[in-house]
């Protein structure tokens, strides 16, 4: 039995490896402009921030080496410790509360899809996401003011003793900002969850109802497991928004009263541009970035694994 010989490549014909090399080079050339923009406007500033975090510098004079003292200050300085603690409190209002309420609203909306006007209500819930943060903050400053809507409603129902300067009270300022975050993020979560419910086969719900399952069993047995991916996305977006909150705090309270609403992003800004502590501000920014990455990585473990 004779074996078929492989014909040698013709002279001058490109080999398979060469063709793949040219194809990869072309792909890299397509990616190059985006990578250049990323490196110029994000990569280089990030590396500079990391460099600044190891120096004591006021932004004008000569910088002196500080070693890890700026990072130790985050642990030792009560103001910085409080800032990260406040961010953790905001995570409850920005993430846990909106996700929980949105899941409840999703049950109602998915069961009332045939009701006229449900698309209008979904649009209204999502509306805060498309309003500029400055406008949102200004609206809520007005609502929380001594003669604002909230206090007037309390006085109108005979609860005058509960009326107060919500953003100027040490005990309520941070909670008041947290409720704004809840209002902002609940619409985003509802839209994500409702779209996820739309991808669940209707046959599953029909089979569950034929078996006598009520709304609660149907939710925990079918809806919630199917929404794991959407819940992970919602948690990621809302937790990151809580950790990097700046504009809302800056416009409403400037970190006050005292230090009761200061958050890491605001502390980084304040130290860099107001108190001349650029190295400390850079260290806060670096630690905040690491915290966001770690929290995001932990939440991503909720994502369902693709079965191949």
- Whether 67 is covered by a domain: the verdict is no
Q: Is residue 21 part of a domain?
A: no
- In a domain, residue 101? The reply is yes
175 within domain boundaries? yes
* Whole-number Cα distances in Å, 246 to 34, 52, 53, 181, 183: 27, 21, 20, 12, 17
The pLDDT value recorded for residue 167 is 95
274 domain-assigned: no
Query: How many domains, the chain?
Result: 1
Q: Is residue 47 part of a domain?
A: no
Residue 189 sits in a domain whose CATH number is 1.10.3720.10
Q: Range of 174's domain?
A: 85-266
Quote the pLDDT of residue 242.
Answer: 95
| Nearest alpha carbon to residue 260 among 117, 123, 82 | 82
d(CA 296, CA 86): 18
> Considering only CA atoms, which of 95, 105, 118 is closest in space to residue 190?
105
What is the per-residue pLDDT for 197?
86
Flag whether 209 is in a domain. yes
Cα 249-251-253 angle, rounded to 5 deg: 55
| 201 lies in some domain | yes
Helical packing angle, 173-197 and 228-243, nearest 10°: 150
**The whole model's pTM is what?**
0.84
Task: Give, for all 308 residues of the chain, the pLDDT tens digit.
Answer: 454 555 555 555 567 666 666 777 887 888 889 889 988 998 899 999 999 999 999 988 899 999 999 999 999 999 999 999 999 999 999 999 999 999 988 887 776 654 566 677 777 888 888 888 899 999 999 999 999 999 999 999 999 899 999 999 999 999 999 999 999 999 999 989 988 888 888 888 788 878 877 778 888 888 888 898 899 999 999 999 999 999 999 999 999 999 999 999 999 999 999 999 999 999 999 999 999 999 999 988 877 665 44
């Amino acid at each position: 039995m004779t074996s078929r010989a492989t014909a040698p490549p013709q002279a001058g014909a490109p080999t398979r490896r060469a063709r793949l090399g040219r194809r990869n080079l072309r792909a890299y050339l397509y990616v190059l402009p985006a990578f250049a923009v990323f490196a110029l406007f994000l990569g280089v500033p990030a590396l500079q921030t990391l460099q600044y975090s190891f120096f004591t510098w006021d932004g004008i004079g000569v910088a002196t080496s500080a070693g890890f003292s700026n990072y130790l200050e985050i642990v030792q300085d009560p103001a910085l410790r409080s800032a990260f603690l406040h961010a953790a409190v905001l995570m409850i209002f920005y993430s846990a509360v909106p996700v929980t309420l949105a899941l409840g609203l999703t049950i109602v909306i998915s069961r009332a899809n045939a009701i006229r006007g449900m698309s209008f209500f979904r649009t209204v819930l999502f509306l805060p996401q498309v309003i500029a943060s400055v406008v949102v903050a200004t609206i809520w400053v007005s609502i929380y003011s001594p003669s604002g809507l909230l206090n007037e409603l309390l006085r109108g129902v005979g609860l005058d003793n509960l009326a107060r300067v919500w953003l100027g009270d040490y005990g309520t300022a941070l909670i008041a900002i947290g409720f704004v975050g809840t209002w902002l993020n609940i619409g985003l979560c509802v839209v994500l969850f409702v779209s996820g419910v739309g991808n669940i086969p209707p046959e599953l719900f029909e089979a569950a109802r034929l078996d006598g399952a009520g709304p609660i069993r149907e939710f925990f047995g079918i809806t919630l497991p199917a929404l794991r991916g959407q819940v992970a996305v919602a948690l990621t977006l809302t937790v990151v928004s809580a950790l990097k909150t700046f504009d809302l705090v800056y416009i409403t309270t400037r970190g006050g009263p005292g230090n009761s609403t200061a958050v890491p992003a605001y502390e980084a800004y304040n130290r860099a541009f107001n108190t001349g502590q650029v190295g400390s501000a850079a260290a806060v920014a670096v630690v905040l970035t690491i915290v966001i990455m770690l929290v995001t990585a932990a939440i991503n473990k909720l994502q369902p694994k693709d079965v191949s």
